[in-house]
Structure 1
Amino acid sequence: MNVDEGAIDRREAFLRALVGDAAALARAGFARQTGQAVSMKGPQDYLTETDGQVEDHLRARIAEAFPEDGFLGEEGGGEPGAQAWVVDPIDGTANFARSIPHFCISIAFIAGGEVQLGAIVNPVLDEVYFARLGRGASLNGRPIHVSATTDIAATSFEMGWSNRRPLARYIAALNELFEAGSNVRRGACGALGLAYVADGRSDGYAELHMNSWDCLAGLLLVREAGGVTGPFLSLGGLLAGAPVLAAAPGVAGVLSQATGISLLAGPDLLTEANEEDQRKTA
């Protein structure tokens, strides 16, 4: 689908400035977090005051700059429409709540049926990952690329856990990966897990169910860094969530086989039909 490159240029410049403001808010919240009360949205699903503050800030800034764009946030929801910003204000909230500096802000922009822009920032380490469709991926302005490994015995995968899918499937996938010779870890921040695949810190990331605000920016990063992913938008993942896989090409097949998540054969498009279905079920 055609997009207005000038419109994407404007949003890219805006997003590069926006992530800095959001990171400052998150850092301040993290400094205040030690010993503070934490709310629970559900089992192992944490909520802090900073989640809401960061999302409200992002929503307001985007609405002011681009009132024609939709917005979908983890905390406040929204109506994405044909072009929209998809935001997780704090991914890795369980880490954040325990003063573990492994959390991030994830922002993606969708237009023309595809993710056009993606940014993931770790506020504590001041690491900013950025990608634009067709123009590569970077970390703090430096181009990044997925790992070149083809030896499964040298791999380090990350696998996220979701209580939306049977625990037995997760355990079975872990077991198969360990038996294949891989190391498997869990950092409890899926967006950063995907970013780490993009810059070669991990060889692959998989999760049996993930929400769009957690993964859209990261999936774009991985593809723009030379990696391969599973489908997501074409599975209705924008509103309903879907399985996620991202990996270095040389070992993606092993991760796909272990998890049962297929590899993407072409562009991951949010088709007009899928979009209309999602509007009806929203």
Structure 2
Amino acid sequence: MSDAILCRFEAARSIVGDAADLAMSMRPPSGGPAATLKSAQDWLTEADGAVEALISARIGALFPEDGFQGEEEGRTRTGRLRWVVDPIDGTSNFARGRNRWCISLGLLDGDLPVAGIIHAPALGEVYTAVRGRGAVLNGRPIKASPVTDTRSAMVEMGWSNRVPKGVFEEKVAAILRLGAMPRSGGSGALALADVACGRLDGYLEMVINLWDVAAALAILEEAGARVSPFLRDGGLEGGATLLAAAPGIADDLSAALAVSLD
């Protein structure tokens, strides 16, 4: 990977660390949701905007020629290199004072994910990857799960209000028929990070956005997971389906869930 990408990655790690400190300082206490409801189960907190603004300003000052896209403000700058941020992934958890949320920042070179940072400060975890240099969790190399039998697998599915009625239940039923254990944790980025490090054996979301997955795509690739062609299937410009899986059960999950990995 080029020196230009590595320079950006190192700067971004520091910026995301500062953003994580800001998010922690703004985290609501445990209890009912302290947030605005945009639509069913789609929450917005003051921290979402503040964290995105911090990252955008700092990236823009260091690399003004780069593009930038955030969940809250959209695509505010264009460039061949594009930073994509979800300032608080798992906002429903964050808004209730829970720990399972993260800041996700990915770097794309055109349509190629080249670096990713997922920082979960309440969990004390930082996942990072640079294309061709492996994936790490808190500095230690990670790999996708070695599981080869779906009967011992743990598979998470994300929920979206954009999915037609009945689809979520149908896919969860397919997971159960494989003998796998279903999960749902409320953060797509962290679920994908869990696939990358082997804590989960698969993750499916029928409609997910680029800012949720831009960092995870680089991390999953470097960790050896198999991933459906999210960017090719429209993920660069809108919501698309994403399946990520441990290689040993990827074909079984793909067939059962009717999501192609090719």
TM-score, L = length of structure 2? 0.95
Q: Distance in 2 between matches of 1:171 and 1:32?
A: 32
Counterpart AA for 2:256:
A
Q: Distance in 1 between matches of 2:256 and 2:70?
A: 31
Q: Distance in 2 between matches of 1:170 and 1:132?
A: 33
Whether 1:225 aligns to 2:223 is yes
Q: Is 1:82–1:113's contact at 8 Å kept on the other side of the alignment?
A: no
Q: Distance in 1 between matches of 2:3 and 2:183?
A: 41
Counterpart AA for 2:49:
G
Cα deviation for residue 219 of structure 1 reads 2.1
Equivalent residue number for residue 148 of structure 1: 146
Q: Is 1:206–1:255's contact at 8 Å kept on the other side of the alignment?
A: no
Q: Is 1:199–1:225's contact at 8 Å kept on the other side of the alignment?
A: yes
Counterpart AA for 1:24:
D
Aligned residues: 261
Whether 1:64 aligns to 2:61 is yes
Report the more deviating stretch, 159-168 or 145-154.
Answer: 159-168
Identify the match of residue 249 of structure 1 among 244, 247, 250. Answer: 247
Instruction: Map 1:256-271 onto structure 2 (within 5 A).
Output: 256-264=254-262
Taking a change above 3 Å as real, the CA distance of residues 133 and 159 of structure 1, as seen in their structure-2 partners, is same
User: Which structure dedicates a bigger proportion of its chain to helix?
Assistant: 1
Counterpart AA for 2:226:
V
Report the more deviating stretch, 171-180 or 88-97.
Answer: 171-180
Q: Distance in 2 between matches of 1:33 and 1:211?
A: 28
Cα deviation for residue 233 of structure 1 reads 1.2
Equivalent residue number for residue 108 of structure 1: 106
Q: Is 1:232–1:244's contact at 8 Å kept on the other side of the alignment?
A: yes
Equivalent residue number for residue 177 of structure 1: 175
Structure 2 gaps of 5+ residues are none
List, as ranges, runs of 4+ consecutive aligned residues in structure 1 with deviation greater than 4 Å. Answer: 31-36
Taking a change above 3 Å as real, the CA distance of residues 33 and 80 of structure 1, as seen in their structure-2 partners, is farther
Structure 1 gaps of 5+ residues are 265-282
Equivalent residue number for residue 10 of structure 1: 7
Report the more deviating stretch, 34-43 or 73-82.
Answer: 34-43
Q: Distance in 1 between matches of 2:190 and 2:183?
A: 13
SS in 2 for 1:219: helix
SS in 1 for 2:107: strand
Q: Is 2:28–2:34's contact at 8 Å kept on the other side of the alignment?
A: no
Q: Distance in 2 between matches of 1:246 and 1:25?
A: 30
Taking a change above 3 Å as real, the CA distance of residues 163 and 36 of structure 1, as seen in their structure-2 partners, is closer
